A and B are shown apart, each in its own frame.
Chain A
């Protein structure tokens, strides 16, 4: 069982998303397109999407619903993460004195669900509100290097910006907001406008039907979605349900009340799902990694040799296999495998307690009093490892404690309430030794807030790590537009971090999702679990009862 699971993850990672089981694929071939329309699909997740209002939401599940279900973005990423036309039929760029003029030519057949056409004015409106500090748009930094927007005609908009790599990236995730509905709302009131939770009007493949707070969001197919953008979705209805208790989610999936169980948690449930022929697991790579941060201001963690020894002494493969049930990839550094700048030749540090001991001896940390714990000068190799209440991370801490005990560290464990932990780690005094947490990366990667000297007192420089060469590299890669020039710099950055280990990078997270097999053509990948939701269809004979 375990082996099969790992195999499927490998495949998922290689091909970025995996399809249906072999014997069932034949059924798919004989169902003609016309019979694929209809049916309801229920998606269940542990948390409620906060809002369909782009200006208010920060959560990833709300973003997926906005980008893939309710709204149409200017561009999409294709499976190779290259920008592809979506609402913008095409775009062109021209050099200006300041930088760049980016012109999007919009599709003229996309309508808001109330009938009004989506025009360049909606994008101008969205852009202006995002740039307006009174709106308080959380991800305003997305457009930090954008200066202004000009509407040339109803379906042409020009953005003026400074040159930077990945300048198209914001437009795959910024959904347009309808100017004819929200145009008169004062910016400071936009976030709390009922549009977001009670009456959202989109322009995407699905339209809003109902939201019951704490319970569900209901969407139905938009029959007028333009043929050239994919046409009407196959599904009649898409229901996004909130079920917080993991056992209940599992039971509802196995009982057939739920068709898609997003983010199987705890991962041990995946084995139970695999054992049932009516359901399957699709595992996909994510933007996240899990790490241990060493506070570089503490004498114990100041020496890179000690940090390297810590990593060598921790059996990360064992953590992935036991705690995550094999759902994870041992990490080498801050650039996850999905990213073009990922260093493929670099080998992750092995599990090697003997080298760890040798390194610690060389660094002067020796057990002189024979109590099994190393010392140097007046310091003992003893520290407190923290995390927030989270079953996976608590298990990781226990394994780490045992591994480090074997090479002469004494580790106290502490599980701390999330907000109070956050206060401690973001405060300028850094009143902690080490902690286990997860970090979310992005397609457009900028690690300066984590590791740049200039951020030493910033809220995310938890390692208090400073290396002028790393600063140089991180600055250059945010300016170089040519990837072939930037790649060697990215690789050097990863090699330095591998050597200096400001973090122990534990593993790149893999997200397992449970699916009823009656649901077909589901392709989940790094772009999101819902990225091709408009192509999903349900086997005609296996649909829910509809009168």
Chain B
């Protein structure tokens, strides 16, 4: 297994190099450059030229690429041209925030999706099944940013106007923590963070949860028709044990592979959700960096996203082997 992981990681190197090279070419091919934000009547052209020189933008493009590659390979991600600070410290602030958001969403997706899928499979063709199918399709078709705005409208704004609405269900619409966060007690801080996580993680995850539920339903239906389930029932086991102990593990197999597929999906979804909820994560960083042509920051953030996707896929493959003993990676 260890050898397999190492091999996969080594294989990822040329892939990642290809990705960053492609990103470099594309972002430099776009019109404009990072000095654009300094273009202002009070800024003389000489100052702009000086900046281009300071940032090495006056060099030919292949030289810029080689220079960037050299410092990148030695572990130096450079300095953001728009935020004027080392990219490493920007990433150190932003990556955990995105991981918290997508991690929570991921848990939410699978917990809700699997639970609903099981209920639907067990009660196949019941009114409940139809109602859940309908709502799953409804939710699945909703764009995350729109859903986010609707959640804000109802749970952050309208709820504040109602006196009888319980305070715990009035959710903050933006940011990761309240302004009074630093003044709170330990448990208060945790509660505050969770409170801020509710709306964005629902907005980010609920559509995927709906699709996981669809997969789970069909996978479960397939499993409970098999002979060993009939045997389990014939033994006189309670239905609960049959479903949760015997059927669930096998039905989960195809769902696990979804994990690897959903992570990249979550990261890209995070771009919009972070924007709507003013969540200080990677998604907004990369969008701002692209708009301002902050070349070093674009390179670093797209590299990090690529690494996250590679790792997510690797995790999915490993999990697959964990749930299915027949699978062996040699």
A interface residues, Cβ below 8 angstroms from B: 40, 42, 50-51, 53, 56, 58-59, 133-134, 136-142, 188, 191-192, 194, 196-198, 210, 212-216, 218, 237, 239, 241-245, 247-249, 251-252, 254-257, 417-420, 422-423, 426, 440, 442, 449, 459-460, 544-547
Contacts and interface: CB of A to CB of B under 8 A. Distances in A.
A252 B196 CA distance: 13
Contacts of A440: 40-41
Contact of B82 (A50, A138, A141, A256): A50
Nearest to B153: A251
B5 interface: no
A211 B311 CA distance: 31
Contact of A459 (B39, B50, B54): B39
A65 to B, nearest CB: 15
A56 B47 CA distance: 12
Contacts, number: 162
Given A241-B278, A544-B179, A419 B32 contact: yes
Given A58-B38, A251-B157, A419-B32, A213 B280 contact: yes
28 contacts: A50-B83, A136-B47, A136-B51, A137-B47, A138-B40, A140-B44, A140-B47, A141-B42, A192-B86, A213-B90, A214-B93, A214-B281, A215-B175, A215-B280, A237-B179, A242-B280, A243-B174, A245-B275, A248-B174, A248-B278, A249-B174, A254-B157, A257-B172, A257-B174, A419-B31, A420-B32, A440-B40, A546-B183
Given A136-B50, A252-B174, 10 more contacts: A133-B50, A139-B42, A196-B84, A213-B90, A245-B276, A247-B149, A251-B153, A252-B156, A419-B36, A420-B32
Nearest to A276: B161
B101 interface: no
Interface of B: 30-33, 36-47, 50-51, 54, 79, 82-86, 89-90, 93-94, 149, 152-153, 156-157, 160, 170, 172-176, 178-180, 182-184, 275-278, 280-281, 284-285, 291, 293
Contacts of A133: 46-47, 50
Quick one: which of B152, B184, B278 has the most chain A CB within 10 A? Answer: B278
Contacts of B275: 244-245
B183 to A, nearest CB: 6
Contact of B276 (A42, A198, A248, A545): A248
Contacts of A137: 47
A67 B87 CA distance: 27
Contacts of B182: 210
B278 A242 contact: yes
Contacts of B85: 192, 194, 196-198, 213
Given A136-B47, A138-B38, A257-B174, A248 B84 contact: no
A289 to B, nearest CB: 13
A254 B158 CA distance: 9
A141 B42 CA distance: 6
A417 to B, nearest CB: 8
B161 to A, nearest CB: 8
A469 B94 CA distance: 55
B174 A214 contact: no
Contacts of A136: 47, 50-51, 54
B183 A42 contact: no
Contacts of A198: 85, 89
Contacts of B160: 254-256
Contacts of A247: 149, 152-153, 276
B39 A216 contact: no
A255 B43 CA distance: 40
A133 B50 CA distance: 8
Contacts of A216: 175, 179
Contacts of B284: 214, 244
Given A197-B84, A241-B278, A245-B278, A138 B175 contact: no
A255 B93 CA distance: 28
B163 to A, nearest CB: 14
B14 to A, nearest CB: 32
A358 to B, nearest CB: 36
B119 to A, nearest CB: 34
A140 B49 CA distance: 14
Nearest to A139: B42
B50 A142 contact: no
